[in-house]
Structure 1
Amino acid sequence: MRADGADVAVLPIGSFEQHGAFLPLATDTVIACTIADEIAAAHPVLHLPPVTISCSHEHAAWPGTVSLSAATLYAVVRDIADSLRRSGVRGLILVNGHGGNYVLRNIVQESAATDFRMALFPGSADWDGARTRAGVRTPSNTDMHAGELETSILLHAHPELVRPGHETSDWISDDRKHLLTLGMPAYTESGVIGRPSEASADKGKELLAGLVESFAEYLSLVGAEKEA
């Protein structure tokens, strides 16, 4: 979908990984697509279809989780960016739904040395602002996976995807010092880290509204002409 005059694309990037017993494997993709849908309704952008599998290796202990290597995700996103550039698109904003996609930062970092602008959205400040606006009660470090934030967005945008049980599935594990080394099983039995019991559809609606508002700054930066 392309708005008239749009010269910046948005690419939702999700994952296919466990989100406890009450959220679907595609949760991160659904969230990234929902954010991108809201953005496209409010801003002139080229809305691309999503990348649905990414770097979920820390969740490999749970059946159903599927991953790409960081090198593969890098190559996929770079190829998409190169195709857009050849088509006359000025820039690309990656709408990332999975915190484990660390390689996306490097892709955007490298683009700063080229004539094709890129950005990674939402950033931590965008999430913090949206959380405050929505009245999310769980601190961001605690609300790590299938918690209040993610469950709220799905309760608002896709309640049919939320199974019963989130009200009684809280799991707190704030000290995750060795997450990269040990993966999620070292810190949770259920796959949840956070307080999904605090989730609500109203919070999900306000989270999305806050992100749409903060996106405007990214669009202005990526859509601007680069200085010679």
Structure 2
Amino acid sequence: MGNARELINMTRDEVEAAINEFPVAILPMGATEQHGHHLPLGVDIYLAEGVSRKLSEKTGALLLPTQPFGYSWVWRDIPGTVSLQQHHVEAVIKDVAHSVARYGIKMLVLVNGHDANNASMKYATRELADELDIPVIYLFYPNLNKTIEEICDSPTWHGMVHACEFETSLMLALKPELVDMSKAVREYPEKPRLYGRSSISLGDLSKSGVYGDATKATKEKGEKMLNYFVNEMEQILLEAYEEIKE
């Protein structure tokens, strides 16, 4: 395992050499939004970047700077939130893809840490298929539900992960200095019948900003899940790269 190839710390010559060796780039996709009283607003940034850095270390892919903003409409009234319109997130992805394709990148990998980015990644990738000759693949915690079932001790809130045991455990593994477990809580808000069918949003439901049981999080659980996700993503990345080599 080598060091991550972080583009922002490299010279133009080092970037060119890295592309000649392995022409794959990783774009971590984050968001800036509340994650309860025990976690920082940058959780989705730190998780996407942490996973992506390990993926770069294992594969030699070029690590692009993390996209710090996503579609965070549901938290828009909470101080610190920065939300982009969903089509703007798509536009950023497309502009990045067009940029890296110009100088030899043969595949772009999107590694997401924010669930609401998934739709933007999906539709940007479809449009790029008609615009560029390079493939774009998008990843968000492979086999998420199965992994949570096997490693976590608390259920999700209707399949969603936010400031819960899952995200808190990953933060304990990656950025423990930013986690205050003395403020971690358990909250499973009631789900209104109109949720998902109206403008009722997550920001209207949880008092703490937690959806699940953050008190059950541990560093050990985070490390297990982190290793699994990185290994799975590595296999997906390498399989996708083999297809374009053929």
Provide structure 2 residue ranges, at least 5 long, that are not aligned to the other structure.
7-17
Say whether 1:170 aligns with 2:186: yes
Fraction of identical pairs, as percent: 29
Counterparts of 2:160 and 2:86 in 1: how far apart (Å)? 24
Match of 1:80 among 96, 99, 103: 96
Q: CA deviation at 1:158?
A: 0.9
Point out the more displaced range, 108-117 or 193-202: 108-117
TM-score, normalised via structure 1 length: 0.89
Say whether 1:28 aligns with 2:44: yes
Alignment partner, residue 160 of structure 1? 177
Q: CA deviation at 1:226?
A: 4.4
Match of 2:218 among 180, 184, 200: 200
Residues 90-138 of structure 1: CA distance to partner in whole angstroms, max 9, x if unpaired?
1111111111112111112333444210111125x432354355x1123
Counterparts of 1:222 and 1:111 in 2: how far apart (Å)? 16
Q: Does structure 2 conserve the Cα–Cα contact (< 8 Å) formed by 1:13 and 1:32?
A: yes
After TM superposition, the runs of 4+ consecutive aligned structure 1 residues lying more than 6 A away are none
Alignment partner, residue 184 of structure 1? 202
Larger RCO (alpha carbons 8 Å, 6+ apart): 1
Say whether 1:126 aligns with 2:157: no
Residues 2-48 of structure 1: CA distance to partner in whole angstroms, max 9, x if unpaired?
65722111111110000111100111000101111111121221111
Q: Does structure 1 conserve the Cα–Cα contact (< 8 Å) formed by 2:58 and 2:234?
A: no
Q: Does structure 1 conserve the Cα–Cα contact (< 8 Å) formed by 2:173 and 2:220?
A: yes
Q: CA deviation at 1:143?
A: 5.1
CA RMSD of the aligned region, Å?
2.3
Counterparts of 1:212 and 1:111 in 2: how far apart (Å)? 25
Counterparts of 1:227 and 1:158 in 2: how far apart (Å)? 37
> Looking at CA atoms only, which structure, 1 or 2, has the larger radius of gyration?
2
Alignment partner, residue 149 of structure 1? 166
Q: Does structure 2 conserve the Cα–Cα contact (< 8 Å) formed by 1:10 and 1:94?
A: yes
Alignment partner, residue 37 of structure 1? 53
Counterparts of 1:37 and 1:158 in 2: how far apart (Å)? 13
Counterparts of 2:234 and 2:145 in 1: how far apart (Å)? 16
Q: CA deviation at 1:204?
A: 0.7
Count of matched residue pairs: 225
Counterparts of 1:35 and 1:227 in 2: how far apart (Å)? 25
Q: CA deviation at 1:144?
A: 2.3
1:19 counterpart letter in structure 2: H
2:145 counterpart letter in structure 1: D
Provide structure 1 residue ranges, at least 5 long, that are not aligned to the other structure.
none
TM-score, normalised via structure 2 length: 0.83
Q: CA deviation at 1:165?
A: 2.9
Counterparts of 1:8 and 1:174 in 2: how far apart (Å)? 44
Other structure's SS at 1:30 match: helix
